[in-house]
A and B are shown apart, each in its own frame.
Chain A
Amino acid sequence: MSLAVNGNGNIKGWYYFLVVAAFGLFLGGCTTSMTESYTGGTANQETVKLDTKKARVVLIPLDIKLTELTVAGLEEPKAAWTEQARKHVTDGLTAALAEQGLTLRPYKKPAKSTSLRRDEQLEKLHATVGGTILFHHYGQMYRLPTKKGEMDWTLGATARQMGGEQNAEFALYVFLRDSYATGGRKAAVVVSRILGGTTQAGERVGFASLVDLRTGKIAWFNALYSDSGDVREAEPARKVVDNLLSGFPS
Chain B
Amino acid sequence: MTRKIIALTILLLATACVPPIVATPPQEPIKIGFYSVTPQIEWNRSMMSTRESWTIDGYALQALRFYTVGDGQTLSGQTDPDGKSPAFHKSMLPNEIQEFFVETLAAGGWAKVKPSGLKPAKFGSLPGFRFSFTMVEKDGLEYEGMALGAVKDDELNLILYSGTKLHYFPKYKPAVEKVFASISM
Please say whether the chains A and B touch (CB closer than 8 A).
yes
User: Taking beta carbons and an 8 Å cutoff, which residues of A are in contact with B?
Assistant: 1-4, 6-13, 15, 22, 25-26, 29, 36, 38-40, 120-122, 124-125, 127-129, 131-132, 135-136, 138-146, 153-158, 216, 225
- Asked whether B8 lies within 8 Å of A25 as measured between CB atoms, the reply is yes
Closest 8 CB pairs of A and B: A7-B76, A156-B167, A8-B108, A132-B58, A4-B53, A3-B46, A141-B12, A124-B141
Q: If A9-B108, A9-B162, A121-B142 touch, does A144 touch B46 (CB 8 Å cutoff)?
A: no
A-B contact pairs, 11 of them (CB 8 A): A2-B49, A7-B77, A8-B110, A9-B145, A25-B8, A128-B60, A129-B58, A136-B58, A141-B12, A144-B44, A146-B44
Q: Indicate if the CB atoms of A15 and B60 lie closer than 8 Å.
A: yes
Q: Is the CB of A7 within 8 A of B75?
A: yes
Given A4-B49, A141-B16, is A11 in contact with B5 using a C-beta cutoff of 8 Å?
no
Q: Who on chain B is nearest to A4 by CB?
A: B53
Which residue of chain B has the shortest Cβ distance to A140 in the bound complex? Answer: B9
Query: In whole angstroms, what is the CA distance A158 to B166 when docked?
Result: 7
Contact B59 A11 (CB under 8 A): yes
Contact assessment for A146 and B8 in the assembled complex, using a CB-CB cutoff below 8 Å? no
Contact B57 A26 (CB under 8 A): no
| Beyond known contacts A4-B46, A10-B108, A144-B57: 9 more, CB 8 A cutoff | A4-B63, A7-B104, A10-B137, A15-B60, A22-B12, A25-B7, A26-B8, A129-B58, A132-B58
A143 to B167, CA, bound (A): 21
Residue positions of B touching A, CB distance < 8 A? 1-2, 4-5, 7-9, 11-13, 15-16, 20-23, 42-44, 46, 48-51, 53, 55-61, 63, 65, 67, 74-77, 104-105, 107-110, 137-142, 145, 160, 162, 164-168, 171
CA distance A2 to B77 in the complex (A): 14
Chain B residues with Cβ below 8 Å from A120 are 140
CB neighbours (8 Å) of A8 from chain B are 75-76, 104-105, 107-110
Bound together, the chains give a CA A135 to CA B12 distance in angstroms of 12
Q: In the complex where A141-B16, A146-B42 touch, is A12 in contact with B142 (Cβ < 8 A)? A: no
Residues of B within 8 A of A4 (CB): 46, 49, 51, 53, 59, 63, 65
- B108 adjacent to A132 (CB under 8 Å): no
Q: A3-B46, A158-B166, A216-B167 are in contact. Are A143 and B59 (CB under 8 A)?
A: no
For residue B139, which residues in chain A have a CB less than 8 angstroms away from its CB? 124, 127
Q: How far is the CA of A15 from the CA of B12 in the complex (A)?
A: 15
In the complex, are the beta carbons of B2 and A38 less than 8 A apart? yes
From A141, A146, A158, B23 is in contact (CB under 8 Å) with A146
Contact A141 B20 (CB under 8 A): yes
Q: Indicate whether A144 sits within 8 Å of B137 (C-beta atoms), given known contacts A8-B76, A10-B108.
A: no
